[in-house]
Amino acid sequence: MRNLRLRWKESYSPILLVSPAIVYIFFFSIYPTLTAIFESFQTPLSSNTLSNYQGLIFFHLTNAIENTLIVSFGALAFQFFLAFIIAGLLAREFRGRRVFLTIVILPWGVATIVAAFVFSNIFPVSPPFGGYMNSFLALFGLPPVNWYSGYNSRVLVLILSDSWKNTPIVALILASGMTGISQEIYNAAALDGAGPIRRFLFVTLPNLRNFILIALVIRGISEFNIFAIPLVLVEYNPPFLTTLAYEFYSSTSSIYYSYAASTVLLAIVLVFTLVALKLRRTA
């Protein structure tokens, strides 16, 4: 009898230990999420309607989806480019490696709003043609640029500003994958006459596949949530899903539009994650 009770305790008490966290997550994450999805199909006058979504299309929903995807994938590409270089360096032993690691990690800790503030001085809205990037270009005799004159340069500014803070996490994940690839494979590939580019393509990339996908999921998810950076640098033009939701929330014109915009955001995040995880499983 005592034995049985002990066994009961053994198998159930771990669940009891985990349950406060689960209850908390249910109340503060899952329940509100379901509420947001449900409410996105309501209006003060009718229920189970698509009218919020239809209304949002009038307020540039498709545009906001496009911009969210363009900046997200642009930023991901740029961050992975930098992160591969950094992780490649960190995989080697050299004097000053630890200092380099510290420098590279630093931006991770800096608040997004601070990154947004600093980059609003590097690429200022006013004065046009001013700011630190233009004064840097001037050192090389290059002409100044008005960063907010067109769509493309606005997107570029957002991608650059976002990438500073977020490259470190990609680099750290890739670096932890690279330490797992043995030097012997590289040596063997080099003996077979593979140059650095081919070694990267045929040794590094396939061996890092899962780490790349993990970093892609982690960063991709937060990339779609890009909020403070556009809010500070370009306000609502071009619009993003987050800034669209916030605009309707803060102007109180219709909170239901915010629910609809954030539900679209959630759907994009979900689809992206499921696709990436699927790729990982088949690896």
Partner 1 sequence: MQLLSRAMQYVVVAFMSALFLYPLYILFLISFSPIQYTLGSLRPLQWPEGFTLQNLVLALQGTNLIDPMLRSLLTASLVGAIALLLGIPAAYGLSRLTSTLANTISTLLFFVNMIPALVIAIPVSVSFIDLHLYNTVVGLALAQGLIALPFSIFLLLGAFQSLPKDLENQARVDGAGMLQTLYTLLVPLSKSAVAAAFLISWMLSWDEFTFATILSPITPTLPFVIYTNIYRGNILASSALSLVLTLPVIILTVMLQRYLRGEYLSGGLHG
**Among residue numbers 219 through 248, which ones bind partner 1 (CB under 8 A)?**
221, 224-225, 227-228, 231-232, 242, 245-246
Whether residue 92 contacts residue 183, with contact meaning beta carbons closer than 8 Å, is answered with no
Among 8, 81, 117, 151, binds partner 1 (CB under 8 A): 117
Q: Which positions from 2 to 31 touch partner 1 by CB under 8 A, shown as an x/- string?
A: -------x---xxxxxx-xxx-xx--xxx-
Query: Closer CB to partner 1, residue 159 or residue 169?
Result: 169
Check residue 211 for interaction with partner 1 (CB under 8 A).
Answer: yes
Check residue 255 for interaction with partner 1 (CB under 8 A).
Answer: yes
Smallest distance from partner 1 to CB 181, Å:
11
Query: Closer CB to partner 1, residue 97 or residue 150?
Result: 97
Q: Which positions from 42 to 81 touch partner 1 by CB under 8 A, shown as an x/- string?
A: ----------------------------------------
Whether residue 210 contacts residue 283, with contact meaning beta carbons closer than 8 Å, is answered with yes
Check residue 36 for interaction with partner 1 (CB under 8 A).
Answer: yes
Check residue 111 for interaction with partner 1 (CB under 8 A).
Answer: yes
Q: Which stretch binds partner 1 (CB under 8 A): 44-52, 151-159, 182-190, 209-217?
A: 209-217
Contacts with 229 (C-beta within 8 Å, 6 or more apart), sequence order: 112, 115, 116, 119, 158, 161, 162
Joined tokens for residue 1: 């009898």
Whether residue 258 contacts residue 227, with contact meaning beta carbons closer than 8 Å, is answered with no
Smallest distance from partner 1 to CB 115, Å:
7
Check residue 269 for interaction with partner 1 (CB under 8 A).
Answer: yes
274 alpha carbon, distance to own chain's centre: 16
The CA-atom distances, in angstroms, between 147 and each of 53, 72, 164, 220 are 32, 19, 18, 25
Q: With the C-alpha atoms ordered 148, 237, 232, 153, is the resulting torsion angle positive or negative?
A: negative
DSSP assigned state of 195:
-
CA–CA distance, 274 with 221 (Å, rounded to integer):
11
C-beta contacts of 194-201 below 8 A and 24+ residues apart:
200/84
Check residue 86 for interaction with partner 1 (CB under 8 A).
Answer: yes
Among 43, 51, 59, 122, binds partner 1 (CB under 8 A): 122
Smallest distance from partner 1 to CB 281, Å:
11
Among 61, 157, 177, 204, binds partner 1 (CB under 8 A): 177
Question: At CA 76, angle to CA 261 and CA 56, rounded to 5?
Answer: 15
Among 132, 192, 237, 271, binds partner 1 (CB under 8 A): 132
